[in-house]
Amino acid sequence: MNDLFLSRRERPGGVYAEIVLNRPAKGNALTAPMLEELAAIVAQLAEDRGVRAVVIRGAGRFFCTGGDIGAWGALTPRQMADEWILRGIAVLEALSALPQPVIAAVHGHAIGGGLELAMAADLRLGLVGANFGTPEVCIGMISGWGGVRKLTEMVGLARAQHLTVLGSPISAEEALRWGLITELAATPEAFASSLENWIDRLLANAPLAVTLTKKLLADSRVDARHAHAEAAAKAAATADCAEGVRAFLAKRPPHFQNR
């Protein structure tokens, strides 16, 4: 079965699409082929006027635990910037730019690139027990798919600094207080019910008005893609990043030397 797939679902008010990350044994960590699959799905949805809303979720325990280190750990700094960072940003920006409203249904951890994926959605619903974080600095990398900027937009500079510089995750309850998610469900049943309510509400809204509103919101953002790519390339070129990747794969603490 594919690591990522699309299905169309019907509700009384219309049709919505569901994108499922389907790599549960790896925490739905994203690979380059998954990014390409997501890009193809997003391009398909952008032309599908019959789909009125989109839900993205993960199979198994987690929403998404980030970019698979096996997918980028061996890249050169230039490959990191061009093939992983800029490509990832382009895919997530295309997801954000869909004419349909997008819901990230975060029923498990959203970490690193997984949090960036969730932030690419218009709405985020959480389930108690999930964690949200940007732990990249713990392995000598940075949050590269636009996460630093998006976090600052969503939660403010001080909280973005707290999350990105410390590298420690926050709970779903704290994510709700910070505004990373706008609703938190206490049980899987309540989570499913809230998700259905959100979908029904979106299906009842005027599609063109929603699309125009999304564009107005998007126009307020600054294009920082290349700044993120260059920063990621610099991080990937450090000895500390190489050590962080080795330590992660060996399941040991890293020994950083500030070089």
Measured between alpha carbons, how far is 55 from 195 in angstroms, rounded to an integer?
A: 9
Q: In what order do the strands lie in the sheet with 51-58?
A: 4-11, 14-21, 51-58, 102-106, 123-127, 183-185
52-78, pLDDT tens digit by residue? 999 999 999 999 999 888 887 788 888
Q: Which domains does the chain have, with CATH numbers?
A: 4-187 (3.90.226.10)
Half-sphere exposure of 47 toward its Cβ, with a 13 Å CA cutoff? 5
Look at residue 48 and tell me whether its pLDDT is greater than 70: yes
Closest to 152 measured CA to CA, from 140, 169, 165? 165
98-133, pLDDT tens digit by residue? 999 999 999 999 999 999 999 999 999 999 999 999
Report the first-to-last Cα separation within the chain, whole angstroms. 42
Return the pLDDT at 232. Answer: 66
Mean pLDDT of the region 82-97? 92
Half-sphere exposure of 103 toward its Cβ, with a 13 Å CA cutoff? 26
Return the pLDDT at 145. Answer: 87
Return the pLDDT at 40. Answer: 97
Return the pLDDT at 139. Answer: 85
166-199, pLDDT tens digit by residue? 999 999 999 999 999 999 999 999 999 999 999 9
Residue 143: alpha-carbon gap to chain centroid: 11
Return the pLDDT at 229. Answer: 66
Return the pLDDT at 227. Answer: 61
Where residue 240 falls (left for φ over 0; alpha for ψ -120 to 50; beta otherwise) is: alpha
192-232, pLDDT tens digit by residue? 999 999 999 999 999 889 998 888 888 766 555 666 566 66
Measured between alpha carbons, how far is 13 from 202 in angstroms, rounded to an integer?
A: 9
Residues for the chain: how many in total? Answer: 259
Query: Which residues on adjacent β-strands are paired with residue 111?
Result: 133
Return the pLDDT at 197. Answer: 97
Task: Give the amino acid at 141.
Answer: M
Q: Is 51 helix (H, G, I), strand (E, B) or coil?
A: strand
Residue 94 tokens read as: 């295309």
Measured between alpha carbons, how far is 247 from 242 in angstroms, rounded to an integer?
A: 9
Percent of the chain whose predicted confidence (pLDDT) is above 90: 65
223-256, pLDDT tens digit by residue? 556 665 666 666 677 876 777 778 778 888 887 6
